[in-house]
Amino acid sequence: MNKRESNQRESSRSKIVVLGLVGGIGAGKSFATKEFVAQGAVAFNADEEARNMYDNSEVLAAFRARWRDVVDSEGRVDRAKLAALVFAPTPQGRRELDFLNAVLRAPLAARFKEWRETIVRDGTNRHVVVLDAPLLFEAGWDAFVDYVVFVDASEATRRRRIIERGWREDELERRERTQTPLAEKKARADFIIDADQDDSNMPLQVERILKAITRGAER
């Protein structure tokens, strides 16, 4: 039995189904997450939770020890400086990113497990939990999920969306080169959502996935 199968059995007992949401930068993961929530799921945004941990005293201490100019005297993290360090297209940039992930990974995983347990204790009805974690595979968080959902969009669409966010166009390549290739993520997914068009039929696609996992959980 692999980790995913084991987790599905555990989820069946706890009345929780966890979906791991992955996809390229600008693919529409946030849009998909909002639609899952609109249809009754609850969501955990790993990136948002990681940013919240920048206020954690132990995390700040590790940051200061590694990057003195990234944390100011009042304990605020300069995220632009941090991003420039960890996404630099150099071997040193890769090492800085590995350090950042090492600092955040254990407390973030603990936070997710704690949050998940509150959902389990919340009531007797089955809950669908969406784990929006861009580094799901890199962090080994696929062991926490029952199903992986890949949000798909073309490179041209994703590039347009990040520019609309105010990002530089080269951010797409700069950040994605540090992640698992999109083709591999897609191949490892149980479900695929087509989010290439801004007016895509997202509600219908999400509804179909929720129905499919409900049928699987009831077997």
Q: What is the pLDDT of residues 79-101, one digit of tens each?
A: 888 888 988 888 898 899 889 88
| pLDDT at residue number 152 | 94
| pLDDT at residue number 90 | 87
| pLDDT at residue number 147 | 95
CA dihedral angle for residue 35, residue 155, residue 97, residue 145, rounded to 10 degrees: 40
Amino acid at 114: E
pLDDT at residue 217 tops 70: no
Pick the more confident residue, 168 or 209: 209
| pLDDT at residue number 191 | 97
Q: What is the DSSP letter of 107?
A: H
Report the helix count and the strand count for the chain, using DSSP H and E: 10, 5
- Distance separating the N- and C-terminal Cα atoms of the chain: 17
**Any idea which fold 3-50+110-218 has?**
Rossmann fold (3.40.50)
For range 16-37, the mean pLDDT: 91
CA distance 107 to 115: 12
How do residues 136-186 score in pLDDT, each as one tens digit?
Answer: 888 888 988 999 999 999 989 988 988 888 887 777 777 777 778 889 999
Report residue 36 as tokens: 């899952």
| pLDDT at residue number 4 | 53
Locate the domains of the chain by residue range. 3-50+110-218
pLDDT at residue 44 tops 80: yes
Contacts of 196 (CB under 8 A, 6+ apart): 152, 153, 154, 157
The per-residue pLDDT of the chain, averaged, comes to 83
